[in-house]
């Protein structure tokens, strides 16, 4: 064991076998030196704040060296490992705090012994935050959301205690609510350095102080010493009492002399508690059953104010209130609920993703490092530093309110459908999606929703009550699969034919998933996605229909894939005979099985040749390149893009046409119509092809010429394509450091998707990057449990690694390789719109564009308009199109553009007709090589040249629908007024002059298709934009989306929220949104 070098009143070294140079304490347990030094982490009250005049014992050094070596070699994800570099370790290992002699081992021993720790570091005394600041500061910055060592925590501010209310007045979700804060007593070290005498003295002080509380706070102190075990356990089970520290606290030496000095105070109602010397000196807690956060918070504030009148707390001007664990610094406030959210909790990763969006922490009900019990989670605010106590509680308040809202919505998801007639099994969202929750659905249609235990539905109380209340007597069970349902195809057609009943209809999903569609009073179809355990009741007289959805389990149904592939082939008509097709996918679950089926059906349908990727592996960009290179009829791509894979997740089949791009609506609609009437399919049943072996396989098929299946190297053609586009010789010299004198440090994350083999061939073999510069490069059927979507949320491992400063560029790709995320040194984030604009500016440094020229550019309408400025400067047309890659493809085929992108991390050029993630990274490397600049400097130089587009989106949810419609009508009338163009608006000293105003409509210059009413669009002379759209319906109406794209010519390095405020004010003025909706602030800011 390690331990602080302090002695008890008998002058006996405590846990001192690994330390030396003990510091004396007086008999009464207080320090002989100035006690206030423990409250001065800035070191001002010590003669040697860096602790250089003390020596660390050799045994401690040995233990440190051994522990550091094991940690460095481990796969630990702790913040300790992340920030304890060899340089920092060597700098700190021989230091000790001046007053209590705490060493680096005292700080990190828990993390050295528990590699599964999330943080792994504690402060044994207040001075540790200064002496070991090189380690504590980055940990604090990381955990507390960017609280830098130059930042200062704001003064204590509890705010208006009456502004919070009951988060769950109907007691549907929240079991209990508590708000607590930690406090350390001034003049004492933290737990590892407390002597036994100090523990006893502190217990006496706390007990005496709390005995003076009155009113609702009045209660009694119960010391742990002498408390019966049965009583202790009951209090622990009731969540009133802490238990002896877990292994993380044990190894941090926070449990010495247990249970001496520990105790609990509570009032008669057990709604107010104080823990003495659990982890911190004091944990002050207000709690009660239910969700009344307002009452709980008011009680806590009253208690803290009363106790502080009697006991001075340890506080630092920069770090706020000081605590043993750095995660609790600052406000020390933790506002939490025990909450049951079964739909969100069914996918723990999804629950944590949603919680992280609102800075919430999810853990078990028995504290950190514990799991949920009975599906109940403890969810609290995570941020404690850099904001006031009031703001910390408000984050929890807003986050829990949103989680409850999402849980209600996730009980079953429903949305208004588009008017397309393509495959009925697709989701058929409007653009943008228009969701409707169950309350509003009931108001519109009378449809009711219940959640049933499908595994034991016969005994489910809810279902039994429904049977009794509604006199249900007849029951039938249908399994919708070709194997089990006679006349399967016709039955599905019948189910999807709209119909109504004279009696209400009850439908319970026992397994699987599908869609019920109902028609509302305005003749709009609403789709309800149902899964296992969902029960809906459709009232009499409501038109409705049913269909299955599309997932792996659907594709693996008997003959499902066969029928679908037959329809794809049939849609090509006479062109199919003697044709060549490309086949491959992203390697997800069921890819190989589907390819075997595709080969057999193509053989029977007159296809001459298949080009199949080895092991079925072909990225979406590679398929497009192969189609174009071989002038194939098209390609069959097996992917579900950036969505997760596995037996219970997503799978997809899509067809790319002869230009290499996705099939347009006319083709997909034709395929869908064929699926509705298919009676049989053609197949060569016994045909077996080894797709693992590269080579040409020729087969004799009855009544037709030979059939050829060529298994091709999955990456060769694509790599050759990239070599024709980029100068690999220059890039290799650049990465190796031959031209710069310093190797470029790259980190490429394929996220276990299809790009792995391409990344290894291009970056390792062709460009000579180091082996550790590429990660997760083996395509896995379930992507290793990852969600292969390259953004800051799902690629957080990459971001957390690059932020350390060990890499110059980081990149991630999605499952099928068409999306990309790029970050620079220390994870400097490149937005998709900035990436597009920078590439456009530097296209001339890429050989492909030197040879083929630079045509126009394009972006999707919601994407910030940074590329527009590049187009203006270069004299190139910039097309603004609706969301959908098909719009780009048409323009490319016509020779109108060579570069395009969208806000969802998609970038592409006219070398193929798909987005291309690897292409985007090679473009950035070419720009870095050409300019000799880092990613951050390239962007700053770009902004200096063109200015910067700051962007945000405000969502105002659940607004009264009529008021929203009135606002949109007002806006239509306002912008149509001829005097509106040219008007000047001013806010906070900045002026904006209207250049263009319309309700965006796009006519494709190639096929003349029209996409109308995409949103109110106001463009200003300086390049700024306001876009206002009404989308969706909530429980009380519509959602207003306000997009702000604020252009700044000179002030390009400002904070986005500050820079955007003037244009936000202008948008609110023009729209009169607050007056129409009654809203003073948005529900969600993106």
- Percent helix, strand and coil across the chain, each to the nearest 5: 35, 20, 40
Residue 760 token pair: 């290894």
Helix (H, G, I), strand (E, B) or coil at 191: helix
Contact 623, 582 (CB under 8 A): yes
**Is 313 in contact with 183 (CB distance < 8 Å)?**
yes
Average pLDDT over residues 433-437: 77
Here the CATH number for the domain that contains residue 526 is 2.60.120.10
Domain presence at residue 9: no
* Residue in 545, 515, 511, 546 with CA at minimum distance from that of residue 530: 515
- Write down the catalytic residue from 184, 380, 641, 1031: 641
Residue 149 within any structural domain of the chain: no
In 3-state terms, what secondary structure has residue 988? coil
Q: Is 304 annotated as a binding residue?
A: no
- Domain for residue 671, yes or no? no
pLDDT exceeds cutoff 50 at 35: no
Same domain membership, residue 571 and residue 531? no
In terms of domains, do 601 and 513 share one? Answer: no
| Predicted confidence (pLDDT) at residue 351 exceeds the cutoff of 80 | no
Taking a C-beta distance cutoff of 8 angstroms, is the pair 142, 379 a contact? no
Whether residue 482 is annotated as binding a ligand: the answer is no
Query: In 890-908, which positions are buried (b, 16+ CB within 10 angstroms) versus exposed (e)?
Result: bbbeeebbbbbbbbbbbbb
The C-alpha atoms of residue 518 and residue 533 are separated, in whole angstroms, by 19
CA distance 1047 to 1059: 9
Query: Is 338 annotated for ligand binding?
Result: yes
Percent of the chain with pLDDT over 90: 58
DSSP letter assigned to residue 739:
T
* Burial classification of residue 701, based on how many CB atoms lie within 10 Å of its CB (0-12 exposed, 13-18 middle, 19 or more buried): middle
- What pLDDT is stored for residue 231 in this prediction? 67
What is the average pLDDT across 123-137? 95
Q: Is 207 annotated as a binding residue?
A: no
- The SS3 call for residue 321 is strand
Residue 225 has pLDDT above 50, yes or no: yes
Predicted pLDDT at 227: 78
Angle between helices 935-946 and 866-874 (to 10 degrees): 70
Range with lowest mean pLDDT among 22-36, 167-181, 311-325, 812-826 = 22-36
Question: Do 783 and 862 fall into the same domain?
Answer: yes
User: What is the three-class DSSP state of 414?
Assistant: strand
Give me the domain span that covers residue 930. 717-946
Number of helical H runs and strand E runs in the chain: 34, 40
563 and 693 share one domain: yes
Q: pLDDT higher for 837 or 358?
A: 837
- What's the pLDDT at 1037? 58
Q: Measuring CA to CA, which residue among 89, 76, 68 is closest to residue 115?
A: 76
CATH number of domain containing 1061? 3.30.310.50
pLDDT of residue 550: 66
Rounded to the nearest 5°, which phi and psi values hold at 669?
-65, -40
Q: What is the pLDDT of residue 887?
A: 84
Residue (of 111, 113, 94) closest to 103 by Cα position: 94
Report the alpha-carbon distance of residue 732 to residue 726 in Å, rounded: 11
- DSSP output for 62-102: HHHHHHHHHHHHS----HHHHH--HHHHHHHTT-B-TTT--
Residue 588 in marked binding region: no
Residues 379 and 336 reside in one and the same domain = yes
Residue 37, pLDDT above cutoff 50: no
179 is in an annotated binding site: yes
Task: Give the residue from 927, 755, 766, 930 showing the smallest Cα distance to 836.
Answer: 927
Distance CA 318, CA 386 (A): 10
Q: Is 544 known to sit in a ligand binding site?
A: yes
Q: What is the pLDDT of residue 368?
A: 61
Where does a domain end: 916, 946, 976?
Answer: 946
Please check whether residue 456 lies inside any domain of the structure: yes
Percent of the chain scoring above 70 in pLDDT: 89
Task: Give the number of domains in the chain.
Answer: 6
| 761 appears as a binding residue in the annotation | no
CA separation for the pair 887, 900 (Å, rounded):
10
Residue 245 pLDDT grade (very low, low, confident, very high; cuts 50, 70, 90) = low
**Annotated binding residue 363:** yes
Q: Answer whether residue 42 shows pLDDT above 50.
A: no
Distance from C-alpha of 818 to C-alpha of 917, rounded to nearest angstrom: 5
Structure tokens at 794: 């799902």
Q: 429 labelled as ligand-binding?
A: no
d(CA 139, CA 142): 5
Whether 949 has a pLDDT exceeding 80, the answer reads yes
CA distance 921 to 935: 12
Distance of CA 262 to the CA centre of its chain: 40
Q: Can you give the CATH number for the domain in which 393 is found?
A: 3.30.590.10
| pLDDT tens digits, 995-1044 | 999 998 999 898 888 878 888 999 999 889 999 988 643 334 577 888 88
Residue 263 lies in a domain: yes
pLDDT at 482: 66
What is the CB-side half-sphere exposure of residue 367 using CA atoms within 13 A?
15
The CATH number covering residue 117 comes to 1.10.135.10
The response to whether 153 counts as a known ligand-binding position is no
pLDDT at 5: 44
Is 60 exceeded by the pLDDT of residue 3? no
- For 793-825, what is each residue's pLDDT tens digit? 788 889 989 999 999 999 999 999 999 999 999
1084 is in an annotated binding site: no
Tell me, yes or no, whether 496 lies in a domain.
yes
Cis before residue 603, ω within 30 degrees of 0?
no
Query: Do both 868 and 966 map to the same domain?
Result: no
DSSP codes of every residue in 775-795: ES-S--TTGGG-----STTTT
Distance CA 741, CA 980 (A): 58
- Same domain (yes/no): 860, 735: yes
Average pLDDT, the chain: 86
The residue among 1033, 963, 956, 958 whose CA lies nearest residue 441 is 1033
Query: Catalytic annotation on 641?
Result: yes
DSSP state of 539: P
732 is in an annotated binding site: no
The answer to whether residue 768 scores a pLDDT higher than 70 is yes
Q: Is 787 annotated as a binding residue?
A: no
The string of pLDDT tens digits covering residues 894-903 is: 999 999 999 7
What's the CA gap between 372 and 363, in Å, rounded?
7
Pairing of strands 707-712, 609-617: parallel
Banded pLDDT at 125 (limits 50, 70, 90): very high
What local confidence, expressed as pLDDT, does residue 48 receive? 40
The answer to whether the beta carbons of residues 295 and 107 sit under 8 Å apart is no
- Strand 534-538 and strand 505-508: the pairing is antiparallel
Distances (CA, A) of 773 to 100, 387, 807, 809, 982: 44, 38, 9, 10, 53
Does pLDDT of 23 surpass 60?
A: no
Using DSSP's 3-state secondary structure scheme, residue 970 falls into: helix
* Token pair in block for residue 43: 């070191």
Determine how many CB atoms are found less than 10 A away from the CB of residue 1065.
15
Per-position b or e across 783-802, b if 16+ CB within 10 A of its CB? beebbbbbbeebbeebbebb
Based on the fold, state whether residues 405 and 417 are members of the same structural domain: no
Residue 711 forms beta bridges with which residues?
A: 612, 695
Q: Which candidate, 256, 251, 279, places its Cα nearest to that of 108?
A: 251
In sign, the C-alpha dihedral spanning 277, 283, 286, 287 is negative
Is residue 345 packed enough to be buried (19+ CB in 10 Å), middle (13-18) or exposed (0-12)?
middle
**Looking at the domain assignment, is residue 882 inside a domain?**
yes
Per-residue three-class SS string for 567-593 = HHHHCCHHHHCCCEEEEEECCCCCHHH
Burial of residue 968, with CB atoms counted within 10 A of its CB: 0-12 exposed, 13-18 middle, 19 or more buried: buried
Residue 234: both structure tokens together: 């009951």
Question: Is the pLDDT confidence value at 49 over 70?
Answer: no
Q: Are residues 912 and 902 in the same domain?
A: yes
**pLDDT value for 24:** 29
Has residue 27 got a pLDDT over 50? no
Residues 254 and 325 in one domain: yes
- Is 972 annotated for ligand binding? no
Count of positions (residues) in the chain: 1086
Residue 684 in tokens: 């060569």
Is the domain of 417 the same as that of 404? no
Q: Using one digit for the tens of pLDDT, what is the confidence trace for 388-432?
A: 999 999 999 999 998 888 777 666 778 899 877 666 777 788 866
441 is written with which tokens? 């659905």
Query: How far is C-alpha 783 from the geometric centre of its chain's CA atoms?
Result: 17
Domain-terminating residue out of 375, 409, 443: 409
The pLDDT, as a whole number, for residue 374 is: 52
Contact 123, 97 (CB under 8 A): no
E runs forming strands in 607-720: 609-617, 634-638, 653-656, 695-699, 707-712
Each residue's pLDDT tens digit, 540-568:
889 999 988 766 566 666 788 999 999 99
Partners of 875 in the beta sheet? none
Question: Is the bond preceding 259 in cis, omega lying within 30 degrees of 0?
Answer: yes
Contacts of residue 800, defined as CB under 8 A and 6 or more positions apart, other chains included, come to 82, 827
Q: How many angstroms separate the CA atoms of 570 and 827, rounded?
A: 49
d(CA 445, CA 465): 23
What's the pLDDT band for 682 if we cut at 50, 70, 90?
very high
- Per-residue pLDDT tens over the stretch 614-662: 999 999 999 999 999 999 999 999 998 888 888 777 889 999 999 999 9
The predicted pLDDT at position 606 comes to 94
Is the pLDDT at 234 greater than 80? The verdict is no
Q: Which of 756-770, 789-803, 819-833 has the lowest mean pLDDT?
A: 789-803
Tokens for 128, please give them: 């540790």
Higher-pLDDT residue of 510 and 419 is 510
Domain boundary among 489, 518, 549: 549
Beta bridge partners of 25: 31
**Has residue 426 been placed in a domain?**
yes
What distance lies between CA 754 and its chain's CA centroid?
21
- Burial level of 868, CB count in 10 A (0-12/13-18/19+)? buried
Whether residue 958 sits in one domain with residue 905: no
**What tokens appear for 83 in the block?**
């920030």
User: Domain holding 794: CATH number?
Assistant: 3.40.120.10
Instruction: Return the DSSP state at 565.
Output: H
Q: What is the DSSP letter of 328?
A: G
d(CA 48, CA 30): 20
Looking only at the bridges linking them, the beta strands covering 580-585 and 609-617 are parallel
């Amino acid at each position: 064991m390690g331990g602080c070098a302090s002695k008890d009143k008998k002058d006996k070294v405590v846990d001192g076998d690994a330390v030396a140079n003990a510091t004396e304490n007086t008999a009464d347990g207080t320090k002989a030196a100035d006690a206030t030094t423990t409250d001065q982490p800035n070191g001002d009250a010590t003669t040697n704040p860096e602790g250089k005049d003390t020596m660390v014992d050799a045994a401690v050094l040995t233990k440190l060296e051994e522990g550091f070596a094991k940690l460095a070699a481990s796969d630990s994800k702790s913040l300790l490992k992340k920030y304890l570099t060899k340089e920092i370790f060597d700098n700190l290992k021989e230091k000790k705090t001046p007053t209590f002699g705490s060493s680096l081992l005292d700080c990190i021993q828990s993390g050295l012994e528990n590699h599964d720790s999330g943080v792994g570091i504690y402060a044994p005394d207040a001075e540790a935050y200064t002496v070991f600041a090189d380690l504590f500061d980055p940990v604090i910055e990381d955990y507390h959301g960017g609280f830098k060592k130059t930042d200062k925590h704001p003064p204590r501010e509890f705010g208006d205690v009456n502004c919070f209310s009951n988060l769950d007045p109907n007691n549907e979700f929240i079991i209990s609510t508590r708000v607590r804060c930690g406090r350390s007593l001034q003049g004492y070290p933290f737990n590892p350095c407390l002597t036994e005498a100090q523990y006893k003295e502190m217990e006496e002080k706390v007990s005496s102080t709390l005995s003076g509380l009155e009113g609702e706070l009045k209660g009694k102190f119960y010391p742990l010493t002498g408390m019966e075990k049965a009583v202790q356990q009951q209090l622990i089970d009731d969540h009133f009492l802490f238990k002896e520290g877990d292994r993380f606290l044990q190894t941090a030496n926070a449990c010495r002399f247990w249970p001496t000095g520990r105790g609990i105070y509570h009032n008669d109602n057990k709604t107010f508690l104080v823990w003495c010397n659990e982890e911190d000196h004091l944990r002050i807690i207000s709690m009660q059953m239910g969700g009344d956060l307002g009452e709980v918070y008011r009680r806590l504030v009253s208690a803290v104010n009363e106790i502080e009148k009697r006991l001075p707390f340890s506080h630092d001007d920069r770090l706020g209130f000081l605590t043993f664990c750095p995660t609790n610094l600052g406000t020390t406030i933790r506002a939490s609920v025990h909450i049951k959210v079964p739909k969100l909790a069914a996918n723990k990763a999804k629950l944590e993703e949603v919680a992280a969006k609102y800075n919430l922490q999810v853990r078990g009900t028995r504290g950190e490092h514990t799991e949920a019990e009975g599906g109940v989670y403890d969810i609290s605010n995570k941020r404690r530093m850099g904001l006031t106590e009031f703001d910390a509680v408000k984050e929890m308040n807003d986050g829990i309110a949103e989680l409850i809202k999402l849980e209600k919505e996730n009980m079953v998801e429903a949305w208004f459908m588009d008017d397309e007639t393509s495959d009925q099994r697709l989701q058929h969202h409007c653009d943008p999606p228009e969701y409707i929750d169950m309350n509003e659905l009931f108001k519109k249609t009378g449809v009711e929703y219940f959640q049933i235990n499908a595994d034991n539905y016969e005994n489910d109380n809810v279902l039994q009550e429904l049977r009794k209340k509604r006199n249900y007597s007849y029951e039938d069970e249908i399994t919708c699969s070709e194997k089990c349902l006679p006349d399967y195809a016709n039955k599905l057609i019948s189910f999807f034919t709209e119909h109504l009943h004279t009696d209400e209809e009850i439908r319970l999903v026992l397994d699987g998933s599908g869609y019920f569609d109902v028609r509302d009073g305005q003749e709009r179809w609403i789709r309800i996605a149902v899964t296992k355990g969902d029960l809906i009741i459709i009232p009499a007289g409501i038109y409705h229909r049913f269909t299955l959805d599309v997932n792996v389990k659907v594709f693996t149904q008997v003959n499902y894939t066969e029928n679908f592939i037959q329809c794809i082939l049939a849609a090509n008509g006479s062109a199919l005979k003697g044709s060549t097709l490309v086949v491959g996918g992203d390697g997800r679950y069921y890819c190989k099985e589907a390819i075997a089926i595709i080969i057999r059906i193509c053989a029977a349908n007159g296809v001459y040749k298949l080009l199949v990727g080895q092991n079925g592996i072909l990225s979406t960009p590679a398929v497009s390149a192969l189609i174009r290179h071989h002038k194939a009829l098209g390609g069959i791509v097996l992917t579900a893009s950036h969505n997760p894979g596995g037996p219970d997740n997503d799978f997809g089949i899509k067809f790319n046409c002869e230009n290499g791009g996705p099939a347009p609506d006319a083709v997909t609609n034709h395929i869908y119509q064929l699926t509705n009437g298919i009676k049989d399919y053609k197949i060569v049943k016994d045909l077996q092809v080894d797709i693992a072996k590269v080579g040409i396989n020729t087969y004799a098929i009855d009544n037709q010429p030979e059939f050829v299946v060529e298994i091709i190297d999955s990456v060769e053609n694509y790599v050759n394509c990239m070599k024709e586009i980029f100068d690999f010789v220059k890039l290799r010299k650049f990465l190796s450091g031959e031209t710069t004198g310093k190797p470029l440090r790259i980190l490429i994350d394929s996220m276990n998707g299809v790009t792995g083999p391409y990344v290894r061939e291009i970056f390792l073999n062709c460009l000579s990057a180091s082996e550790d510069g590429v990660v997760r490069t083996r395509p896995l059927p379930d992507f290793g449990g990852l969600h292969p979507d390259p953004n800051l949320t799902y690629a957080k491992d990459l971001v957390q690694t690059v932020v350390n400063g060990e890499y110059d560029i980081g990149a991630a790709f999605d499952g099928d390789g068409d999306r990309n995320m790029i970050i620079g040194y220390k994870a400097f984030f490149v937005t998709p719109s900035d990436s597009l604009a920078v590439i456009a500016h530097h296209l001339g440094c890429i050989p492909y564009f030197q040879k083929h020229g630079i045509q126009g550019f394009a972006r999707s309408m919601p994407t910030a308009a940074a590329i527009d400025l590049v187009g203006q400067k270069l004299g190139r047309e910039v097309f603004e199109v609706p969301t959908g890659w098909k719009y780009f493809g048409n323009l490319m085929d016509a020779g109108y553009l060579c570069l395009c992108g969208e806000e969802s991390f998609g970038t592409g050029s006219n070398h193929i007709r798909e987005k291309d993630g690897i292409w985007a990274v090679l473009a950035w490397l070419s720009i870095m090589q050409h300019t000799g600049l880092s990613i951050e400097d390239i962007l700053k130089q770009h902004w200096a040249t063109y200015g910067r587009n700051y962007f945000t989106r405000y969502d105002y949810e659940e607004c009264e629908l009529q008021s929203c419609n009135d606002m949109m009508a007002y806006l239509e009338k306002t912008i149509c007024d001829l005097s509106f163009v040219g008007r000047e608006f001013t806010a906070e000293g900045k002026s904006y002059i209207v250049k263009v105003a319309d309700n965006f409509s796009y006519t494709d210059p190639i096929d003349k298709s029209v996409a109308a009413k995409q949103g109110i669009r106001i463009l200003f002379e300086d390049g700024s934009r306001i876009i206002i759209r009404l989308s969706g319906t909530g429980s009380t109406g519509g959602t207003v989306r306000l997009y702000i794209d604020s252009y700044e010519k000179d002030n390009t390095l400002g904070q986005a929220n500050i820079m955007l405020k003037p244009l936000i004010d202008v948008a609110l003025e023009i729209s009169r949104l607050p007056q129409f909706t009654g809203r003073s602030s948005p529900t969600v800011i993106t």
